[in-house]
Amino acid sequence: KTDIIIVGGGHAGAQCAIALRQNGFTGSIAIIGRESEPPYERPPLSKEYFAREKTFDRLYIRPPQFWDEKEVQMLLGREVTSVDPVAHVVTLSDGTSREYGHLVWATGGDPRRLSCVGADLSGIHAVRTRADCDQLMGEVDGGVKNIAVIGGGYIGLEAAAVLTKLGCHVTLLEAAPRVLARVAGPELSAFYEGEHRAHGVDLRTGVTVDSLVGDGRVTGVKLGDGSIVPADAVIVGIGIVPAVGPLIAAGAAGANGIDIDEYCRTSLPDVFAIGDCASFACDYAGGTVMRVESVQNANDQATCVAKALCGTSAPYKAFPWFWSNQYDLKLQTAGISLGYDQTVLRGDMASRSFSIVYLQGGRVIALDCVNMVKDYVQGRKLVEAGATPDIAALADASVPLKELM
């Protein structure tokens, strides 16, 4: 029997094992992970790794020998296919099974696939794993030039920025009227649309994909209006589907991911869920039940569970933050803007260094800071405090945010 089995060797799974040992847990720990690499950082896959500014060995969350030293058993290249919550047993794709004391489900999500005609042609890529990224990089090295990116979320936009830098011609197709519509206000969307266009991306919003065309390999994307965007390769960045099949089949409650309470407990005894696959009432989004897809959330929920398993349980209340790098623009996000009713711009967008502050009923709930580290650092305190600053002062970028507490 293994005291704690962690399913998934991504950010959340790795951090859970790290935090368990940091908090003095001496029992047995195993991580069962589908990917063959020891835990590595995912964000660089659409940034520095993709741009070849970092090699893969610089992406490891801990040096590979760390896991042996900390006596964390790594069972990689295999996945959990079923869970028996009564017997406390997981079954693996290699046919073996293991008994657990506690189970931590940290499986993230699988890239959402297109379901249209042509979706199974070759040359269609996701950007979720090292393997995805290596395959795409291999094609770019092999001379692929015209690339269509479907989806204007952070991953699609970051990929478009890197590919443009690498000399590819990128067409970015977004179904919504603007990019980043799910996560940011219209001002930020318009800014990034302008930046991508200025860098040569053929960025189109409000377009639907009818099908992918090609014979064996993709040669183009057919749009709803019948026109065809030529493409030697296609990147699909339209979100993830939480990888929760086995746990839902075992009876865990959940619709959009696995439902967890404020201690990251699922509805099954001795089973926790954390990271991208976990759905919870988020304090910083007014209690909205949602999944939060960020390294911060994965790490902090992992630490929350590790503490609970070490006997110092406390509800999950961590502050949400996120970042995205595109061209020379460093975006840092503090808080969650969902439900805002007012935005205030600080600074001048044309200078490419500004912040957008999101308010709800006069209270600061989030900030998007572009090349504005100071606003990010000071602004997150406003969010944490639920500050209600004077709007004219807030809009004056020469007034430091720390003076508005």
User: What are the structure tokens assigned to 168, written together?
Assistant: 């590819």
User: What are the structure tokens assigned to 286, written together?
Assistant: 């007014």
Q: How many CB atoms lie within 10 A of CB 63?
A: 10
Which amino acid appears at position 171 of this protein?
A: T
Alpha helices in 166-293 (DSSP H): 186-198, 245-249
Beta strands 258-259 and 72-76 are unpaired
- Least separation in angstroms between residue 224's CB and ligand FAD is 27
- Least separation in angstroms between residue 288's CB and ligand FAD is 18
- Least separation in angstroms between residue 348's CB and ligand FAD is 25
Which residue lies nearer to ligand FAD by CB, 12 or 357?
A: 12
Which residue lies nearer to ligand FAD by CB, 33 or 220?
A: 33
Which residue lies nearer to ligand FAD by CB, 173 or 274?
A: 274
Which amino acid appears at position 87 of this protein?
A: A
Q: How many CB atoms lie within 10 A of CB 214?
A: 18
- Least separation in angstroms between residue 113's CB and ligand FAD is 15
- Please enumerate, as own/partner, the contacts of 327-330 that have beta carbons within 8 Å and a separation of 24 or more: 327/161, 327/165, 327/195, 327/199, 328/352, 328/371, 329/195, 329/370, 329/371, 330/370, 330/371, 330/373
Task: Decide: helix, strand or coil at residue 311.
Answer: coil
Which residue lies nearer to ligand FAD by CB, 32 or 221?
A: 32
Which residue lies nearer to ligand FAD by CB, 45 or 397?
A: 45
- Least separation in angstroms between residue 404's CB and ligand FAD is 26
Which residue lies nearer to ligand FAD by CB, 10 or 347?
A: 10
Q: Are 382 and 388 in contact (CB under 8 A)?
A: no
- Least separation in angstroms between residue 216's CB and ligand FAD is 27
Residues in touch with ligand FAD (CB under 6 A): 7-13, 32-35, 42-43, 45-46, 79-80, 106-108, 127-128, 155, 243, 246, 275-277, 293-296, 298, 322-324
- Least separation in angstroms between residue 78's CB and ligand FAD is 7
User: What are the structure tokens assigned to 48, written together?
Assistant: 């520095």
Burial readout 320-330 (b: 16 or more C-beta within 10 A, e: otherwise): bbbbbbbbeeb
- Least separation in angstroms between residue 377's CB and ligand FAD is 17
Which residue lies nearer to ligand FAD by CB, 185 or 246?
A: 246
CA dist., res. 62 & res. 31, Å (int): 14
CA dist., res. 127 & res. 309, Å (int): 33
- Least separation in angstroms between residue 177's CB and ligand FAD is 24
Which residue lies nearer to ligand FAD by CB, 184 or 298?
A: 298
Which amino acid appears at position 232 of this protein?
A: D
Which residue lies nearer to ligand FAD by CB, 75 or 397?
A: 75
User: What are the structure tokens assigned to 333, written together?
Assistant: 């996000």
CA dist., res. 15 & res. 13, Å (int): 6
Q: How many CB atoms lie within 10 A of CB 311?
A: 9
